[in-house]
Chain A
Amino acid sequence: MVEAARRVLSVRDLVVDFVQDTGTIRALDGVSLDLHAGRVLGVVGESGCGKSLTARAVLRLVDRPGRIVSGKVLLDPGAPAQQELTALDPEGEAIRAVRGGRIGLIFQEPMSALSMHYTVGNQIIEAIRAHSGLGKSAARQRAIELLQEVGIPRPETRIDAYPFQLSGGLRQRVGIALALAADPEILIADEPTTALDVTTQAQILALLRRLQRTKGMALMLITHDMGVIAQMADDVAVMYLGKVVEFAPVQQLFAAPRHPYTRALLRSVPNIRAVPRERLATIGGAVPHPESRPTGCAFHPRCPEIIAGRCALEMPPPLPPDQEGASCFHVMPKMMVDA
């Protein structure tokens, strides 16, 4: 169970719709989760389940025709200075101070955060100055330190390079330096290593872990890779079709997954220790498009443990936020039994 680490962000019952000619797509269907200072929340699930959209909704970056229909995102929940991000103007000053300020963002493709036309240094210096009172030369000094911190060799010269002059791994390091420019308390990393090779991935993950620990940041790490989750996360939220279907501390999740989807997902991961030519456990079919969300439990058409006459008709109870458990009729939510 989560220790009494300070909660820095709460997402409550977040619902996001996309209104299209063909109908309304409910892409997030009541997502709740919490981020804690000094802890890593891994968010995992297959393509289209709403991982990136959750991150974008937190930062109010949902573009039309998408719309936050209901739910709340709270920064510093319960504190006197609590801020309701969902109540802010998505274009306004207040949310902009949060984006790239208290909440840093790292993308899968670092070029989506970097401009081709400015040097690495210019972009980081600008980000530093936007969120602090530093002067030009002090900000440049700080930028060099940041590049050093993220493991870029020869930062004094690399600071004047353009992003296209750097390899993918170095670019991702610059993306991380940029996200750290304002000393954020929360870091949201959306598939930060998916586009990278394994050896580069190992370097970047080690870097993220070191920075997260030394700075005590809350890290929300979005990935579809169960290996990355196992190596990085403290707690894990498993998503399926716009919902968190299981939440558990990482050891618990791998040792005794509760939701049939989590179990199936874990068994279907190819393992480098497998017996050669061994068949993988499969889940029938594919993730349905949110446009044609199944009735009842959204996983029921693929579920090997379906309860006839129930799962296709009734929705299993949603998971209470920040509590270990799974949203499935077979699983009773675990109550607060910890000593």
Chain B
Amino acid sequence: MTVLEVERLSKSFPIKSGLLQRETGRVRAVQDVSFSIARGETLALVGESGCGKTTVARCILRALPPSSGAIRFSPQEGTTIDLAPLSRSALRPIRRHIQMIFQDPYASLNPRMMVGDIIAEPLLVAGVPLAKRQARVRELLELVGLPPAARTRFPHAFSGGQRQRIGIARALALDPTLVVADEPVSALDVSVQAQIINLLLDLQDRLGLSMLFVAHDLGVVRHVSDRVAVMYVGRIVEVAPTIALYARPRHPYTEALLAAVPKPDPMLRDAAAAPRGEVADPANPPPGCAFHPRCPHAVDRCRVELPELREVAPGNFSACHRAEELTLVGVA
């Protein structure tokens, strides 16, 4: 069953300049993005800074109004609602089914609230009575591996990893249908990051979470996701099951990303060739395939014709004109 289906989602922001702050152009942060998430599935959204990952996440949460496209969400079997055109008041009853885990465990917790109250807040808003709230908070603390005594302490008494656990407990309080996690482990030290990754894996198993996992670290993504969508300058360029994408990428940008990851093995040095050039500016993307100025496989057609995302192998989608003829290198 599909929990979320995003179809041709676009979002642009005005570029304003001059004294009168007149609009002089638009940043096309997200363009024609389509993907779906099945119940119990974790889809990772990866790509480099500014490619539009957070903008996609914020549109799904309706923290931003999309410019166009559909965001079909199924809070339960048999009900599907397009969130894109909904008003604030129409959204309110649905919002509880989609929860967010943030990157920064320091900024996202109110320092003046006790941890128990932070976790109980969504329950309070949903009108859950006190006794049930308290029982649920105890259950959630246990679920994320925090001691019951954490309830009456303030966020400053906790380390980064523990704060991230608090944020996760809060996100899970109302048994959401979909969890959107925007770089939830990027700010953590490796030893703590490993603990939180394992916690997310446990929660996926125990609760059958459906998750959109926004990240830029391909190592982290490999551990937690079932499928991966790769974005470049506002567009999805490849979507595939995790193992398939790493073993045999179908888009040259995915290949470049995998090659650029510094491998934690000193015997495998210099194997990575850095791609030339820089990430394109979403306010002024190159014509045709936006990756063409950096792509070692570009041909004339790439400079003029925009490649559409299409299925090039079963379950494997690529937006490259040459996806079928190229044999790209992944990691074993």
Contacts and interface: CB of A to CB of B under 8 A. Distances in A.
Interface stretch (B26-34, B79-87, B110-118, B253-261): B253-261
Given A199-B256, A270-B194, A271-B222, A225 B262 contact: yes
A270 B266 contact: no
A295 interface: no
Interface stretch (A17-25, A28-36, A277-285): A277-285
A282 B267 contact: no
Interface string B191-204: 11111011001000
Nearest to B225: A276
Interface string A267-311: 011111110111111110011000000000000000000000000
A336 to B, nearest CB: 23
B49 interface: yes
A266 B194 CA distance: 11
A277 B220 CA distance: 10
B22 interface: no
Q: Give the interface centre of B49, B198, B278 by most chain A CB atoms within 10 Å.
A: B278
Interface of B: 48-49, 159-162, 189-195, 197-198, 201, 216-220, 222-226, 242-243, 246, 256-269, 272-275, 278-279, 331-332
A227 interface: yes
Contacts of B273: 202
A159 to B, nearest CB: 18
A312 interface: no
A47 to B, nearest CB: 5
Contacts of A273: 222, 246, 331-332
A15 B197 CA distance: 35
A200 interface: yes
Contacts of A264: 191
A265 B190 contact: yes
A124 B258 CA distance: 35
B225 to A, nearest CB: 8
List the 7 shortest-distance A-B pairs measured between CB atoms, nearest first: A227-B262, A270-B219, A202-B274, A268-B194, A197-B48, A280-B194, A202-B260
A198 B160 CA distance: 24
B159 A200 contact: no
B263 A167 contact: no
Contact of B191 (A46, A200, A205): A46
A132 B161 CA distance: 49
Contacts of B201: 277, 279
Given A280-B198, A282-B198, A202 B218 contact: no
Q: Give the interface centre of B162, B218, B265, B266 by most chain A CB atoms within 10 Å.
A: B266
